Each structure stands twice: as structure tokens, then as C-alpha cells.
Chain A
Amino acid sequence: MENLLANPTSYSQAAPLAGAAGTPVLRLTNIEKVYQTSTIETVALNQVNLVINRGEFVSIMGPSGCGKSTLLSLMGLLDEPTRGTIEVDGRPVQSYSDRELAGLRNLKIGFVFQSYHLINDLSVVDNVELPLLYRPGMSGKDRRQRALAVLDKVGLGARTGHFPSQLSGGQRQRVAIARALAGAPEIILADEPTGNLDSVMGEEIMDLLLGLNRQDGVTIVMVTHDEQQALKTERVIRFFDGSQVG
């Protein structure tokens, strides 16, 4: 495999190192998430307390339905907890409006999904530019430059004009990672990023993420089913039935 991280300088301006390594970037306190329908109440998360420090690579493990993805949605400010507080960079976010939350997501958080969620109608580079579209005052030229730099970083510099349907699963996930990196976020939240890939491609993606974390200091939280992959990360948090068990 080519060295995907051979050119870290192209990304250095946007490096996600706003605060000192080791300081908390995300803090979840007494988090509960309850889904209520007319007949039943489902507790998805129960009394979760969690701190993610800057520069960490944390994996979250547990059986299906244990609340891993719900937790990731809460960390990504895509959903609100029923109880408890979420702090980003030390600031609680529960009073934030839809617009403020959108702005915070745009600046601080990058997502990588199991099923990539690329927009098939847009070319690779347009997909990668997407987070930058919502950044006020950024020129089209800057957006394009930044997108090309991160695509280069994930080894897809030669495929910027392709469309997602023309790429393999591993390549699509690399585009998705480039998109997550484009906005130079504080933290990347990856929901089973290798879940749809075969073991070889899965390894490639895992190596890419590890490289980003170790060499560029990107904070990553990854939900995974794969014990082997989890063991490669610094910290493993295990969930069972909505509660943290380790």
C-alpha cells in the first residue's frame, strides 16, 4: 500500500490542534437517552459519563443495540440527551439553537459513516468540499484548495473528478474520511467505518485513521464491532444495554 500520510505538510495549516493535547474536548456527564413511544419507553443510554481528550483514539464496542450509535449521535450533536450535559471544549451546549449547533458541528466535528453517505450526484472533490460550503466567508478557491489537499492526504489525489459510483468501497470510505478532515475539526466521529469493507480494505482504512491520529494528532472516536481493530486504539470503552461496562 502506498504511504497515505507521506505529505502531512499539505494539511498542516488546517491541523486540528487548537488546544493542548490531553485536555478534554468532549465531556458527557450523567447522560441518559430515553426513546418514548405511546406504549413503551426504551432506555438507550443510562448514566453515561465520558471524557474524550484531545489527541486520543478511543473505540467504543458492544453488541448491536447497546446504544453505541446513539452515543455517537449525541457526541456529534445530532441528537439531544433526555438528561445530562454535553460539553464541547468546556462549554455546555444544551441551550444552543439549531443554527448554533449546526455551526459548532461544522467547526468542531467530522463524521465518518459505515455506509459512507457520499452524495452520488457530486464528484469526489465536491463531496469533500461539502463541510466548507457552510463556512461563512470562505471563497470557492480556498474550498477547492483545501479539498484537494485532504484528498491528496488520503491518497485519492488522482480521483478528484470521479463520482462515488466509480470508486471501490475502500476508496469511497477514504473520500468520506477526506470530507471529515476538510473542515479541520477537533474530533472525528467514525461509526463502524470498516463495517462495509472486506478485511484488506478495512485494514487500509484502519491504518489511515491510526496514521491521522498518531502523526497529525487528530482526535478520533470510533464505534466498532471488530475486537482486533479496537485493540489498536488507545482506549476501549465497552457498552452493554445502554450502560458503560468498561
Chain B
Amino acid sequence: MLLSYLKIAWKVLMRRKFFTFINLFGVSFTLMILLVVMAIFDQLVGPTTPTKRIDRMLFVNVIRSQMVDGRGWMNMPASIHFVDEYVRKLKTPEKVGITTTPSNATAFTQSKLLPLDRSYTDGNFWQIMDFDFLSGRGFTADEVRAAQPVCVLNEATARNYFGTSDVVGRTIEIDLKRYRVAGVVRNVSAAHVYAYADVWVPYTLSPQYFKDNRINGEFLIVLLAPSAAAVPDVRDEYRQMMKRVEVPNPKEVQALFSYADPMLAGMTRGLLGTNDQTVDDDKVGSFYLIVSALALLFMLLPALNLINLNVTRILERSGEIGVRKAFGAAGHDLVGQFLVENVVLALVGGLLGLVLAAGALALVNQAHTVAYAHFALSWRVFGWGMVLTLIFGLMSGVYPAWKMSRLNPVAALRGGEQK
């Protein structure tokens, strides 16, 4: 029975090649865009190297100061004082690590200038992130404490500077300072905002390493919870901690706000949240709502197109429907047949969409708009793509199928004269 349905589905598609093409184009183009977005989203917030344990991670990218007398807000990352005095004293996180947004640095090879993105990190950072070490290791807490001039390079920098990636123990000169290479890691995509850099050095070498009691500085904080289930506890303890934070300059700053958020929540809070941070709402719910609505709306257009075409096609096939009914097809047989046909069309479109998405991602990766980007279609994205395709196929097939099954066989036979 299924084979017979598939045979008919194929024939019908081939009979109207142009419309099939338009349809497939609509389906696959829509899915391609959704898949590309999903692949990028997956790399941003999914468990990919080096944030493999992202389900256990919390991030603090900003401390917001509410200025006195309604003079607005000041948003800046944390200072070392804040990290040492408050965050490192938290009990629930398994580890607290820090890093900075990459800043520009320069190295000189014999022949050329090598612009680099440099981050300052602590020892824990290397234990929280799961970098792919090609050789060597990350620097240790002791090396950081002693402000040792050590560094970790990414593969590209090692090759550009030394011509090889096997450079542990050798010396690189960056901004006229010499560093001993402790390890080399595989390139990390700039989409990993907390992990990306070309070169990492101990934060104790940072010009921003002030030892006063200021709250704001340049450090991004990464907290590792002992398990995914413990993440809410860590978030909560951080929230409680913020209430104890002493405002160093009460004449200017009225209150301080900061939240430890999972990756997505951190982004949505920044993206969708209001500037007024007195209310704790990370907006993840709103984000999913908006994204689902947009995706549905986006799929609705080609789905409506397909519904329209399907309904027209039913009139064309009323003779066939009448014959099937006359020879014993019940309503549900016809609904099944039509849904199979439509899902087949959608699946073909979905597979084409996957191929197109892979191509589009390859283009994005090659364009180097995001350094070392390696957006790819994971099995996770593929699975989601197939789910979307199925929803699409059913969405655009149910109504026409229902209409088809309700056709009166006598009228259908009369309408479908095939001379």
C-alpha cells in the first residue's frame, strides 16, 4: 500500500515539474535558513568544544551600576577585587574562572606583523573549558599567582609565528614582551565569546589588574556548577551574594546588579531585557516564544503556498479520488495517502534544505566574518531539521487531505472525467 502511495506521489510530482520545483524551492529554502540559524545557535549555546560542559556553566559578563538621582546606568565587567572578594568565596560552584574579552596585541615575525586577539585568564579557566590541546597544557594557578610570562597559543598563531604547531617551551614576543609557550590549542571560533582568543596569558599580567576596591573592571566570570542540577543553586547563591556587595562609591552609584546566567539567558537578558535591571528576568521564555513564533510564521508562507497548490491538485485528481472511494477506500485511507504524498515532498525538500544549509554554512565559514568559525550541521541540528520538515509536511497536508477525504464520490467521479 505504501509503495503504491509513493509511486503515485512520485508520478504526481513529476507530472507538474515546474510547480514541484517551485514548491521544493519554497520548502528547501525556508528550511535552509532555519537550519543555518539553528546551526549558529547550536554553536553559540550548545555543548561544543571548548564549552562542552555548557549545561553546568554560568556566565557573568556585566555588573550594572544604577547611578544616583536617575542619572542612568553604567554597564561594565567585573574587577579582580569583585572576583576575589565575592565570587571566589561562593560555596556552590565547583570552580570559578575568569577571562577577558580579547584585546588587540601584535607579534612580529621576521617578515611580517601578526595582529592577535589576546585574553587574560586564570588557571581555573583551563579546567572549566575543554580546549583541544595539540601539545602542552594551560597555565596553572601558581604560574598565574607568580605572574609568570607564560602563554597558550591557538594553532593558527603558532603556525604563523613559528611555522609549526609543536612549539611548547619556545618563546614568543607579543607587544615587546616575551612569553614562554605552555600549550597550543586547536583554533576556537569567535562565536565562543568566552573562550575565543589567539593567545591567552595570565591575568596577573594585565594592565587592568588593579588591586584597589573598585567593582568594575574587565573580567568575565565563568562558574562551573558541580552538576547541571546544581545550576539553579549556584545562580541563587550568586543572587544572594549580590545583596552583600558593598558599593565603593555611594555618592555616585546607588545600587549594583549582576546575574550569573547560563549562556542563552545571558544573551537574552542583554538582548531583550530592559536597561532597568532591578527586576530579575532573563527573558529566556520570551526568547523561545518569539523564536518559535518567527519560525512558524516563516514556515507558514511556503506552507500556505503548498496548501493552496494541494487543494488545486485535489480538484485535478477528483476522478482518482472518486475511483478510490468507489472501490473501497474509506476517508482515513485517503487522508493517509495524501499525508504520505505531502510528507514525501516535504522530506525531499528538507533533504535539499540540508544540502543547501551545509553549503551556506561552508560559505559563512569561508568568508571569515567570524574568526575560525566552524558552523556545521550536527546530528542535533539534522534531527531538528527533520522534525521541522515533518511538522511542515503535516501542517501543509492535513487540511487538503481532510478536504479530499470528504469529497462526495459521485461528484468526484463526475468532476474527474478522463476522456
Interface residues of A (CB under 8 A from B): 73, 76, 78-79, 98-99, 102-103, 105-107, 110-111, 113, 115-122, 126, 129-131, 133-135, 140, 179, 183, 196
Q: Which residues from A are CB-within-8-Å of B409?
A: 78-79
Contact: B3 with A140, CB < 8 Å?
A: yes
**Which of A78, A118, A133, A196 makes the CB contact (< 8 A) with B326?**
A78
Which of B289-297, B327-335, B352-360, B369-377 is the interface stretch?
B327-335
Chain A residue, CB-CB nearest to B3: A140
Contact: B328 with A117, CB < 8 Å?
A: no
Give the complex CA separation of A99 and B325 in angstroms: 10
B419 beta carbon closer than 8 Å to chain A? yes
Contact: B418 with A120, CB < 8 Å?
A: yes
- Which A-B residue pairs are the 5 nearest by beta carbons? A106-B328, A121-B11, A102-B330, A134-B328, A131-B327
Give the complex CA separation of A118 and B8 in angstroms: 13
**Which of A99, A122, A183 makes the CB contact (< 8 A) with B330?**
A99
Q: Scan residues 288-333 of chain B and give those whose CB is less than 8 A from a CB of chain A.
A: 319-320, 322-333
| Contact (A73, B410) CB under 8 Å given A118-B418, A126-B4 | yes
B220 beta carbon closer than 8 Å to chain A? no
Q: Scan residues 1-60 of chain B and give those whose CB is less than 8 A from a CB of chain A.
A: 1, 3-4, 7-8, 11-12, 15
**Which of B323, B328, B417 makes the CB contact (< 8 A) with A135?**
B328
Q: Which residues from B are CB-within-8-Å of A107?
A: 328
Contact: B419 with A126, CB < 8 Å?
A: no
A sample of 29 inter-chain contacts (CB < 8 A) reads A76-B326, A78-B325, A78-B409, A79-B408, A79-B409, A98-B331, A99-B330, A102-B333, A103-B330, A105-B326, A105-B328, A111-B326, A113-B413, A115-B418, A115-B419, A117-B319, A117-B322, A117-B416, A119-B319, A121-B12, A122-B8, A130-B327, A131-B328, A133-B4, A134-B328, A134-B333, A140-B3, A179-B327, A183-B328
Q: State the majority secondary structure of interface residues on B.
A: helix
Q: Which residues from A are CB-within-8-Å of B417?
A: 115
Give the complex CA separation of A126 and B8 in angstroms: 10
**Which of B7, B323, B331 makes the CB contact (< 8 A) with A117?**
B323
Chain B residue, CB-CB nearest to A116: B418
Q: How far is the CB of A186 from chain B (nearest CB, A)?
A: 13
Q: Which residues from A are CB-within-8-Å of B324?
A: 130, 134
B interface bracket (residues with beta carbon within 8 Å of A): 20 to 34
| Contact (A122, B7) CB under 8 Å given A78-B409, A179-B327, A196-B419 | yes
Q: How far is the CB of B347 from chain A (nearest CB, A)?
A: 20
Contact: B12 with A117, CB < 8 Å?
A: no
Q: Which residues from B are CB-within-8-Å of A113?
A: 413
Q: Which residues from B are CB-within-8-Å of A196?
A: 419
Q: How far is the CB of A226 from chain B (nearest CB, A)?
A: 19
Chain B residue, CB-CB nearest to A74: B410
Contact: A126 with B7, CB < 8 Å?
A: yes
Q: How far is the CB of B406 from chain A (nearest CB, A)?
A: 10
Q: Which residues from A are CB-within-8-Å of B419?
A: 115, 196
Number of A-B contacts (CB under 8 A): 84
14 further A-B pairs in the complex, CB-CB below 8 A; given A106-B328, A117-B319, A134-B327: A78-B326, A98-B330, A99-B330, A99-B332, A102-B325, A102-B329, A102-B330, A102-B333, A113-B413, A117-B413, A122-B4, A122-B7, A133-B1, A134-B333
Q: Which residues from B are CB-within-8-Å of A135?
A: 328
Q: Which residues from B are CB-within-8-Å of A119?
A: 8, 319-320, 323
Q: Which residues from B are CB-within-8-Å of A133?
A: 1, 4, 329
Q: Which residues from B are CB-within-8-Å of A78?
A: 325-326, 409-410, 413
Q: Which residues from A are CB-within-8-Å of B326?
A: 76, 78, 105, 111
Q: Which residues from B are CB-within-8-Å of A121?
A: 7-8, 11-12, 15
Give the complex CA separation of A103 and B4 in angstroms: 19
Chain A residue, CB-CB nearest to B331: A98
Chain B residue, CB-CB nearest to A114: B417
**Which of A79, A130, A131 makes the CB contact (< 8 A) with B410?**
A79
Interface string of B103-133 (1 = CB under 8 A from A): 0000000000000000000000000000000
Chain B residue, CB-CB nearest to A70: B410
Give the complex CA separation of A134 and B333 in angstroms: 8
**Which of A106, A116, A120, A122 makes the CB contact (< 8 A) with B327?**
A106
Q: Which residues from B are CB-within-8-Å of A131?
A: 327-328
Q: Scan residues 385-419 of chain B and give those whose CB is less than 8 A from a CB of chain A.
A: 408-410, 413, 416-419
Q: How far is the CB of A110 from chain B (nearest CB, A)?
A: 8
Give the complex CA separation of A120 and B12 in angstroms: 10
Contact: B325 with A183, CB < 8 Å?
A: no
Give the complex CA separation of A116 and B3 in angstroms: 24
Q: Which residues from A are CB-within-8-Å of B410?
A: 73, 78-79
Chain A residue, CB-CB nearest to B5: A133
Q: Which residues from A are CB-within-8-Å of B331?
A: 98-99, 102
Q: Which residues from B are CB-within-8-Å of A129?
A: 4
Give the complex CA separation of A119 and B320 in angstroms: 6
Give the complex CA separation of A131 and B322 in angstroms: 12
Q: Which residues from A are CB-within-8-Å of B332?
A: 99
Give the complex CA separation of A129 and B328 in angstroms: 12
Q: How far is the CB of A128 from chain B (nearest CB, A)?
A: 11
Give the complex CA separation of A115 and B322 in angstroms: 13
Q: How far is the CB of B321 from chain A (nearest CB, A)?
A: 10
Contact: B329 with A134, CB < 8 Å?
A: yes
Chain B residue, CB-CB nearest to A136: B1
Give the complex CA separation of A196 and B328 in angstroms: 25
Give the complex CA separation of A57 and B37 in angstroms: 68
